Amino acid sequence: MARISITGGAGFIGSHLCDYMLSKGHQVICMDNFITGDIANIEHIRDERFLFVKHDVTNYIYAEGKLDYILHFASPASPIDYLNHPIQTLKVGSLGTHKALGLAKEKGAVFVLASTSEVYGDPLVHPQKENYWGNVNPIGPRGVYDEAKRFAEAITMAYHTYHGLKTRIVRIFNTFGPRMRINDGRAVPTFISQALNGEDITVFGDGSQTRSFCYVSDLVEGIYRLMMSEESEPVNIGNPNEMTVLQLAERILKKADSKSRIVFKPLPVDDPKQRRPDISKAKKLLKWEPVVSLEDGLDRTIEYFKERTKT
């Protein structure tokens, strides 16, 4: 049984990680300050192996006893969030990562960093492999998130090479599923919420920009396999099945049996035109690839949003 600390543990992905680690028999210390996390994501957990600590990880982190793994998942992660909280986004990617790495060094723990496909920016290489350095605008509106994560990767690798810390870096591509916030701002929850409420479905640009969508249980399985591996360099975890944003909107419209209409709005600044992971490394190294289809994942997510709408 390992003792695991998860920062951002009350967030969308973090809370699923808490559940998964507990299901594997581990102890979990969940940290969150609720800037974007939600107590509702973890209030179902009734387990003596689970401890919640309300804390801002940009401040000094203290934890009693041993820690075997530290998963640093604290960060605003949607464009709405990091545009509303630009300074906090930069701080959690820099100061927060530094504090979490310091704790890992003190405890001799394996450090797992939640990085992102956003480190590739608006990519000029497609699909994106881990050895691609990216095409990022550091002073654009998305720069606060992109550069925070790029810095987080850099300092994580510095701790690995200078201090010999055992580190893992997961580059997370578009992920969806239950516990996403209704007002999250990302495509899947926005389209589902609009479809269920009979509102116009807002597609940016002409909808030809592409994304690939990974269901959250597949992502969590990939993260766990990476955590248990010996790989210190970044690994893409995502679903390589690519589709346009307009196709996604049409799919959700049909699944929700909605009368909403699709309307088009101007494309945000620096919005990536293409986003699709090359997961060859994950397949070879971790024997991992996604198993949940987009159809099944959307069905589960729509049901979750229907239940949330009732309450």
Residues carrying an active site annotation: 145
27-32 β-sheet, strand order:
50-54, 27-32, 3-7, 69-72, 110-116, 167-172, 235-237
Give the distance between the most distant pair of CA atoms in the chain. Answer: 58
The pair of three-digit structure tokens given for residue 137, joined into one six-digit string: 């605008």
- 208: which DSSP letter? -
CA-to-CA distance for 21 and 159, rounded, in angstroms? 25
Q: CA-CA distance, 233 to 173, in Å (whole number)?
A: 16
State the sign of the Cα–Cα–Cα–Cα dihedral 191, 270, 211, 222: negative
Burial class (CB in 10 A: 0-12, 13-18, 19+), 269: exposed
The closest alpha carbon to 28, from 61, 62, 69, 58, belongs to 69
Task: Give the CB-side neighbour count of residue 220, counting CA atoms within 13 A.
Answer: 21
Residues 130 and 117: their CA atoms lie apart, in Å, by 10
Structure tokens at 62: 């203290």
Residue 85 is classified by DSSP as S
Check: CB of residue 141 under 8 Å from CB of residue 269.
yes
- Cβ atoms < 10 Å from Cβ of 309: 12
Q: Say how far apart CA 21 and CA 19 lie, in whole Å.
A: 6
Task: Give the Cα separation of 153 and 144 in Å (integer).
Answer: 14
